[in-house]
Amino acid sequence: MRVTFKPSGHYRHQRIYLRFYRGISEEGIMSRRVLTAVWLAAVASFSVLSLPAQAEAPYSFEATPGKLPKDVVPESYAVHIVPDLTTYRFSGTETVEITVKKPTSQIVLNALNLEIEQATLRGSKLAEVTLTPKLDTEQQTLSFALAQPLPAGRYTLAIAYRGVINAQPEGLYYDKYTTAAGEKVLLGSQMEPTDARRLLPCWDEPSFRAQFQLSVDLPTKFKAFSNTPIQKTIALGNDKQRIDFGATPKMASYLVVLVAGELERISGQQDGTQIGVVTTEGKQATAAYSLKISQQLLHYYNDYFGVKFPLPKLDQIATPGGFQGAMENWGGIVYNETALLYDPKKSTDSTKQRVYVVVSHEMAHQWFGDLVTTAWWDNLWLNEGFASWMETKATDHFNPDWDFWLRANEDRETAMALDARKTTHPIQQPVANESEANDAFDQITYLKGQSFLRMLETYLGADDFRTGIRAYMQKHSYSNTTTADLWAALEKSSGKPVAKLASDWTSQPGFPVVKVDAVCESGQRHITLTQAQFSLDDTATSDRLWSIPVEIGTVGGKAADKASYTLLQGRSTTVTRPSCDGALVLDPGAVGYYRVQYAPALFSALSAQYAKLPPSVRLKLLSDTWALVAADRQQASAYLDLLSKLGTETKAAVWDAAIDGLGRLDTMMHGETLREPLHRYAIGLLAPKFAQLGWTVKPGEPFQATELRAKLLRELGDYGDKAVIAEAQKRFQAFLSKPESLPASIIDPVVRIAGRYADTATYDALLTLAQKALTSEEKSRYYGAIGSAEDPKLAERSLPLALSAEVPPLFANRMVSLVSLAGEHEQLAWAYAKAHGDELVAKVAMFGRNRYFPTIVSGSSDPAVADDLEAYVKAHLPPEALTETHRTVDAIRIRAKLKARVLPQVAPILNAVK
């Protein structure tokens, strides 16, 4: 699943991470729920206890965690669904072939929000018997007590039942969308992690692999798509049809998919597999790009993994609503259309990039997640961390001008900012139930997992790493694994102690800072490396250590003095290099998941030649310097000094880091007199580069220049550059009468600026555009601009849109947070949220509810707001919601302390700006 961790539309200098958009992000991935009191206590204790890295055992079905007994296992399901699109309910029947492994007196499987009408059991030596169902809503189980113990053997379980077609993407759901011909509806499904039980009674845990064969009754105007091709279609009369799909290979229940509606499909072939792109009617022209890259990626992955994609077809299915992001159902990946469709005439460059990244992620899952599946949700990172790493690897391979490995710094910084707090958790964390399975889908799982794999691949070597991955795939195809299985394969292929090294990073929380100093004696450089836990909130554990692959290099040294690795395993070590030439650099490729703190003389040597450093070194130095400021290990003046050296920097990733740093300062300065000087400083830093680029794309212009223009334009608008605002407003007014006058390259920032400084007429125009837009990309653009309005009266108009039936849920659910963060109306939005809490949260899917309220105030630096958030959630939400609340509360309090410390440091510099 590609989770949206960063919201689409850049909230004003805030990187907000929202699980409930399900789109990694993200722009932004991407809430996951309940933690028991014991687990909450364990999470809190991570800040004070050193947890030893413990070896995990290879996969064993019997030893795999889970709630269901393992004495009965499913072999195959034959499921028939009859949806009613007037009542939004469905009836279902299923026949499950089961194996009883040892005598048992009951059969237990999962079911949720289903009504069981009838159930029977039969076997070769058992005449058909009627079973009495027992539903346990709290445990989400369906059980059948047996009059006599059932002997080991094969049996057939048949169940007739009824269920609900949900408004939110949970199990089978409906998605209403706007077309030129009026409102229409399609059916979609979302099963991960534990929602297949809403569509069919099943063994809904990933280690219970089985075959699934679906059939469905639908209106004749509907087309339907599932994991496998259609086997046959039967006319039923009365404008109805029955569609039967082929059987799947044995797979986990969370990968089952069903999408049906008035749909169209284009297709192509690659390596013997038919690839299709499915859209709602009239959007096929926007599907060509995703078809092309799907073919490209399938061939690449077939080669990389050494195992050919095993299904006869792969459909990429675009839905208008549902969720943001995508879900990797085997053979039938479902996307929000913003993550799959690209219109060369209207879509932005960021949309083009997002489509490539998300498709790369989901297609990687067809192997890492679908063909080989995590045994239990405590190893979710095996699915998501790997797919996140592979999305960057594949995207960079085919689009080298995008600098995607360099851009991965942003994801690493996101993970490290969270991982340096007491509320972090290890990549591998205990998961006891469905709620904790939901909570496992977070930034640590995705982004720390991705970052660690990048560091590990670089240390082992790309060839040895791939050899290990191929062996892992071949050995475990159509099965489940634990992390130990992957480490064993990589250790064998590389000959390095992977299990010990990796365990330090996956089974304990946090990460280190490596302090470095050096002296030169007799022409040799003696380098001292010392590690400690890096922390933002004084919770570092003094005895926690990591096995750190540290690459040591130089800038400006002799060609023979090449970078080399040392493995720092203890508290400190000394490394001798044969030359003192050049400036010393640690982690020159910017792949390490650790901070580097240089001794003052070493830092000064790098800072003095900052503009001449390689891009990865510039980026690492800039990011680490801000982090050290945040941890009270360095003065803020050192960071501003580096910013002043950006000059004509050409790399978008470096500008991203600078923009994020300025944004963090700006967030802390809300309501402070120092904010205006900061805005002057930011405009002075960014405006020269924008002037160099200009408003118009130049023939033959590098991709990064086009991308950077849009980013700088947006930022200058946010910081109040009067000339930029006036020109953007002028161009927006021209766009209203002549839409083709505004090129796709700058449409997002121009519309954003128009919304930010909107008057009533402009606001009304944006609202009309949002209501009439036929694509999710356009709706997101216009609703995002509406929520960004600076005028409090317009913000008051925006907030009720969160409860409006006229606004699609995907956009309505963002509105209060938009008004708070993008519009900077925190108090207004928070008051509205508290006054309408029950209504608001009822519209949000379960996986988003825990983050809904914390997100609204996540930009605050006021401890009183943190207290109020905590009190509200305790009073109005179940205890499991406190996990996300505590993370946001912790972030607010850290920001408050940072503000008190840093503002006096930067005040003299900023006040000097005229």
Catalytic positions are 362
Ranges of H-type helices in 194-243: none
Residue 279, H or E segment: strand 273-280
| 448: DSSP letter | I
| Residue whose token pair is 């379960």 | 846
CB 177 within 8 A of CB 183: yes
| 655: DSSP letter | H
Q: Which residues of 298-322 are buried (b: 16+ CB within 10 A; e: fewer)?
A: bebbbebbbbebebebbbbbbbbbb
Residue by residue, DSSP assigns 299-356 as HHHHHHHSS---SSEEEEEEESSS-SSEE--TTEEEEEGGGT---TTT--HHHHHHHH
* Residues 29, 31: Cα–Cα separation, whole Å: 10
* Residues 96, 261: Cα–Cα separation, whole Å: 27
Backbone angles phi, psi at 40, to 5 degrees: -60, -40
Report which of 509, 595, 366, 647 is spatially closest to residue 53, judged by C-alpha positions.
509
The three-class DSSP label of residue 813 is coil
Backbone angles phi, psi at 140, to 5 degrees: 60, 45
CB 708 within 8 A of CB 649: no
* Residues 685, 303: Cα–Cα separation, whole Å: 45
Cα–Cα distances in angstroms (integers) from residue 615 to residues 407, 609, 650, 841, in the given order: 11, 12, 9, 44
CB 437 within 8 A of CB 32: yes
Read off the amino acid at residue 141: T
Torsion of CA 858, 862, 867, 869, to 10 degrees: -30
CB 358 within 8 A of CB 340: yes
CB 660 within 8 A of CB 15: yes
